[in-house]
Structure 1
Amino acid sequence: MRLSRSLAPLTVAVALVLSLPYDAAPHAPARGGGAGAPQPFGAACRTAVTGSHVVAYCHNPYADTDRVRLHIECARWWDIDTDSAPVDAAPALTVRLTGRCWKEVGSAWISHQKVR
């Protein structure tokens, strides 16, 4: 079987490009690898509510320190909502945050702040 005259040069060019070493071959830069790309950030947090007590564990797998705070909103109108003191979760570190209401907990969440 013969290749047509217009397809033969294309086939030779593809064969030559595929035979080049990876470093010599033209290729697009990896996605997200540019200097202006944002770096991953933020500790992964697990929050558990048991009665009127809240416990949160935050693990920071990234290189930047994450300042985390536990916020608790109590279910009763007369119960005081609380915010914990900020705690720095350094790289590869797990921190524990606790808080409570007098009665039931309405909601609890974690806030994150990048430490510069």
Structure 2
Amino acid sequence: MRFFRRLASTTVAVTLVLPLPYEAMAHARVHAAEAEAQPEEPFGAACRIRVTGSHVTAYCHNPYPETDRVSLHVECARWWDLDSDGSEVNAGPAQTVRLSARCWKEVGSVWISHRRES
């Protein structure tokens, strides 16, 4: 009886140690299409946002050679205050643009959206 217990525990230990088939193992696979694809060039203007009371000002500088279309979005804190989505502004290569908006009372949140020029 003791022999079978040892044999059973040894069998379990061996099966846990044996490696899994290659297809079942988690590993990074590089497909031919991904290997041939060129890395995407960096894109997007760097933006600084300043909130002063109910006024929002953002400065976006685009250091890249491709034009970035930036837009300022402001969500006001009060439920009755209108949120605003600014129009898109072209930030050309090595250009800094200024975006501004305001709420009647407090500002809830602010963000900038980026889009490639089509």
* TM-score normalised over the length of structure 1: 0.69
- Which one has a larger percent helix, Structure 1 or Structure 2? 2
Aligned to 1:11: none
Aligned to 1:60: 62
> Aligned equivalents of 1:88 and 1:107: distance in 2?
23
Moved over 2 A (4+): none
70, 73, 82: which one aligns with 2:72: 70
Pairing 1:35-50 to 2, within 5 Å after superposition: 36-50=38-52
**How big is the alpha-carbon RMSD for the aligned residues of Structure 1 and Structure 2?**
1.1
Note the alpha carbon deviations across 1:47-97, whole angstroms, 9 max, x for none: 000000000000000010000000000000000000111000000000000
97, 112, 115: which one aligns with 2:114: 112
Alignment coverage as a number of residue pairs = 83
> Aligned equivalents of 1:69 and 1:88: distance in 2?
9
Structure 2: gaps (5+ residues): 1-35
Pairing 1:76-115 to 2, within 5 Å after superposition: 76-115=78-117
The AA in structure 2 aligned to 1:48 is R
* TM-score normalised over the length of structure 2: 0.68
**What is the percent sequence identity of the aligned residues?**
67
Aligned to 2:14: none
> Aligned equivalents of 2:91 and 2:37: distance in 1?
25
Per the TM alignment, residue 104 of structure 1 is displaced from its structure 2 partner at its CA by 0.3
Per the TM alignment, residue 35 of structure 1 is displaced from its structure 2 partner at its CA by 6.5
